[in-house]
Amino acid sequence: MKIKFFFPILLFSFSLISTSCVSVQVKENTISTAPSEVKKPKNIILLIGDGMGLSQVSTAIYYKDGKPNFERFHTIGLSKTSSASDLITDSAAGATVFSTGEKTYNGAIAVNMDTIPLPTIVEQLSKRGLATGIIATSSLQHATPASFYAHVKSRSLYEDITTFAPNSGVNFFAGGGLKFFNNRKDGKDLLAEMKAKGYDIITDKLPNTPSENNEIILLADDGMPKMSEGRGDFLPNATKLALEKLSKNEKGFFLMVEGSQIDWGGHNNDADYLIQELLDFDKTLGVALDFAKQNGETLVIVTADHETGGYTLSSDGNDYNKIKPSFSTPGHSGTMVPVFAEGPGASFFNGIFESTEIYHKMMTLFGK
């Protein structure tokens, strides 16, 4: 009886082990072959809602008249945002991971922990002949946009950051920051240098059609006005203009668009400010998604460098039919932030991952 009882157990155990081995092997093979199986995009649009956590995204659901564009995405992941120096990142280190794939110290603009410049996605793609663009509702020297074209040890060195613009290879700039070009402490006229490098310079209003040359659009001395101050449709319209221009490049393009002032509303603990900026950003997502749907070769990624304000959509006391936006800090928080993706390669952005992976996933899809 003992022998008869022993052999069925042995056979059953062997069956389990064999099945387990096959299961692991299939899983490993699926992972290893996934990149070649995924359709790769020709173009990538990266939209960064600075300071935008899940509660900020939820704002679009409750405060937008109509369906938010956030709901058009079918792939959603979560990004861990700590920097190399701090559990809670700032925007400079937070954007540097998107532009270079490396975590660094708070305040760093596309340099590593030893302040050595790191090659950015914009620089690498420009060398390969792809078109590139940078748009922000801040100044172009602010931490996030700067991290895509400059290399300095401190985000506060606005004039130093600006010196990188003429030789950046970026085909389309739009945002604020005019004074750092033409009203500098060192007396240099960087607008003249931009012009000498072949840029068309626009400082009055957003044009209706793009130039055939590289162009830089500077519509404010520093940051752009708030939505409440009459900024209007600058962000969605600048995005439309950039897409019309960059999509003419047969090799493809990379465009970074930042809703900068979602973060500023969070720092101010000003819910009305934050909500207006978030809804403007959601409208801009619609422009990107509409283009991608028609184009068929464009991946749209939406994420944040970090969350700002510890923002929540809490009930107003015991009234569960009334939302009362609230904040827990005037600074940043360490919460994970969402990553939305739609288009060829979107499946790469499922799951929970380090913020650096966004760069690496983009570069993999671009064929490195």
**pLDDT at position 36, please?**
58
The answer as to whether 6 is a domain residue is no
96 and 231, same domain (yes or no): yes
Within 13 Å, how many C-alpha atoms sit on residue 111's CB side?
18
**Chain-wide mean pLDDT for the chain?**
91
For the segment 105-119, the average pLDDT, to the nearest whole number, is 98
67 and 155, same domain (yes or no): no
235 and 292, same domain (yes or no): no
pLDDT tens per residue, range 13-49: 433 333 333 333 323 322 223 455 678 999 999 999 9
**Angle of CA points 117, 121, 126, to nearest 5°:** 105
52 and 115, same domain (yes or no): no
Active site amino acids: 91
The answer as to whether 280 is a domain residue is yes
**pLDDT at position 38, please?**
74
pLDDT tens per residue, range 136-148: 999 999 999 999 9
The answer as to whether 132 is a domain residue is yes
What would the two tokens of residue 301 be?
Answer: 């990624």
Do residues 296 and 342 touch, judged by C-beta distance below 8 A? no
In the chain, the amino acid numbered 122 is V
Domain that includes residue 209, residue range: 87-253
218 and 276, same domain (yes or no): no
46 and 133, same domain (yes or no): no
What DSSP letter does each residue of 153-199 carry, written as one string?
Answer: S-TT-HHHHHTTSTTS--SEEEEE-THHHHS-TT---HHHHHHHTTE
CATH number for position 214:
3.40.720.10
